[in-house]
Amino acid sequence: MYARSLGVDGAELRPLEPWHAEEFLAHLDRGREFIGRFIAFGARETDVPSARAVLTAYAEKRAADSGSMHGIWLDGKLVGGVLFRTFDLERGNCEVGCWLESAATGRGLVTRAVRVLIDWAVYERGIHRVEWYAASGNTPSVNVARRLGMRRDGVLRESHAHQGVRHDIEVWSVLAPDWRAARARSARIEGAAVTGDH
């Protein structure tokens, strides 16, 4: 098991496992209305067995190297998570995603957690293209893509029906060479700030 600090006091990224089912369900119940504004994530998980089933499905995806789910804990409480919805090493593509309850917003937790996933995908696994899908009206999600340095590839007009509304879906991506270059620039800037070189 790993626990990775997200650089915010009390915030950690950890694996989200089937044995977390009760905690996962409690988290979904707290955040269900906020999380479900643009996506159906967690909508079918209404009891412990259904919560365990989705966590088990992602544990099986991790075992098959085709996806994974990771929780964000803040002061010991599960408040959201990030995932590889798809992970296709043969094609060099993956899709990352997130969810977060409203009480944990505004701290940069998702941006920091997704950065960990992209670093791992690019540097450790050799993924070439990382994708991010967001409803056009989901400004926080679109802003995460921007903060991560992704480019908007296009808009799938009214492609996603959710709660009786058809939403435009924006497709964002970052390619491995661009990610490596941006991370190298950040490291140089941070290094210069520490040494006082400007």
What 3-state class would DSSP assign to 86?
Answer: strand
Q: Using alpha carbons only, how large is the chain's radius of gyration in Å? A: 17
**Mean pLDDT along residues 12-30:** 94
CB of 168 closer than 8 Å to CB of 157: yes
Task: Report how far residue 132's alpha carbon sits from residue 191's, in angstroms, rounded to the nearest whole number.
Answer: 29
Domains of the chain, earliest start first: 4-195 (3.40.630.30)
* Tokens, residue 129: 């293209």
Would you state the pLDDT for residue 194? Answer: 59
The answer to whether residue 124 scores a pLDDT higher than 70 is yes
The answer to whether residue 75 scores a pLDDT higher than 60 is yes
Q: Structure pTM?
A: 0.90
What's the one-letter identity of residue 131?
E
Q: What is the pLDDT of residues 135-194, one digit of tens each?
A: 998 899 999 999 999 999 999 898 778 777 888 899 999 999 999 999 888 777 776 665
